[in-house]
Amino acid sequence: MAVMKAKSSVQLLMATEAASTGWLGDVDFASDLEEIEDHFRRIVALRIMVAELTALPKPNSDDRKILADAKATTSRLERKADERVKLLEQCASEARHIEDSLQQERDDARLAAAREKLHGDLAAMIYGAESTAPSSSESGADAVIARVQAYREIKGELERARVDVNAVDSDKNDSSHDSSASGISSSLRGAWKWITE
């Protein structure tokens, strides 16, 4: 189980960007794995021998002493192997942290570039439009409204003049009345022509 953990940690570590791009240097975990496997082979062999010796009848003091030494050696080998496995797991974890950090740096750089572009585009739209907008050009809508207003004012003046003429010429014949109305219409057209030109 411990050997499988060690191999899995090495595989995870070597698959990281930190390892593939050289951040971790020229790493080789073959010796680490060999050491772990060797420790566990010795542990298994010791336990087999301990079991056989323990199975002998009438154990003596020498049996008890060597069995104690065997158990101590087994514990020491297990501890060293477990420490090596945990160290490999830590290496894999640190490599993943470096990979996450590199990815975060790339994400931050993309975010900063996107923000800078948006700021630039918005600044151009906000401030550039104000500086480049034609200040002397007359608005078409404003010009139409002004002409309509002028037309209405002139027409109003001429309508009032028509009323005054009708009042003065009320006793005159129809031909004289038509001539006055025609003159007012001509005045309206002339005034409108002057406005539009």
Same domain membership, residue 160 and residue 122: no
Q: Tell me the three state secondary structure of residue 136.
A: coil
Of 96, 116, 132, the residue at which a domain comes to its end is 132
User: In angstroms, rounded to a whole number, what is the distance separating the alpha carbons of residues 57 and 53?
Assistant: 9
Same domain membership, residue 176 and residue 103: no
Q: Where are the alpha helices (H) located in the chain, listed in sequence order?
A: 2-14, 17-20, 30-55, 61-123, 129-132, 140-168, 174-196
Give the whole-number percent of the chain exceeding pLDDT 90.
40
Task: Copy the structure tokens of residue 132.
Answer: 């480049």
Of 132, 162, 187, the residue at which a domain comes to its end is 132
Could you identify the residue written with the tokens 């003046």? Answer: 157
pLDDT, residue 159, reads 77
Radius of gyration of the chain (CA): 52
Region 32-60 average pLDDT:
94
Could you identify the residue written with the tokens 């090495």? Answer: 10
Higher-confidence residue of 183 and 17: namely 17
Same domain membership, residue 51 and residue 18: yes
Structural domain span for residue 73: 2-132
pLDDT, residue 165, reads 60
Output the pTM of the full model. Answer: 0.56
Same domain membership, residue 78 and residue 59: yes
- Tally of domains within the chain: 2
Same domain membership, residue 29 and residue 59: yes
User: Does the structure show a pLDDT above 80 at 28?
Assistant: yes
Region 117-133 average pLDDT:
81
pLDDT, residue 168, reads 58
Same domain membership, residue 85 and residue 56: yes
Quick: pLDDT tens for 127-136. Answer: 876 655 555 5
Same domain membership, residue 32 and residue 127: yes
Region 149-162 average pLDDT:
77
Quick: pLDDT tens for 62-97. Answer: 999 999 999 999 999 999 999 999 999 999 998 888
Query: Is residue 96 within 8 Å of 24, Cβ to Cβ?
Result: no
Same domain membership, residue 104 and residue 124: yes
Q: Which segment, 24-33, 80-89, 151-160, is predicted with the most confidence on average?
A: 80-89
User: In angstroms, rounded to a whole number, what is the distance separating the alpha carbons of residues 43 and 82?
Assistant: 12
User: Does the structure show a pLDDT above 80 at 33?
Assistant: yes
Could you identify the residue written with the tokens 């025609």? Answer: 182
Of 111, 132, 153, the residue at which a domain comes to its end is 132
Q: Which residues of 181-191 are buried (b: 16+ CB within 10 A; e: fewer)?
A: eeeeeeebeeb
Query: Is residue 101 within 8 Å of 23, Cβ to Cβ?
Result: no
Burial class (CB in 10 A: 0-12, 13-18, 19+), 131: exposed
pLDDT, residue 182, reads 55
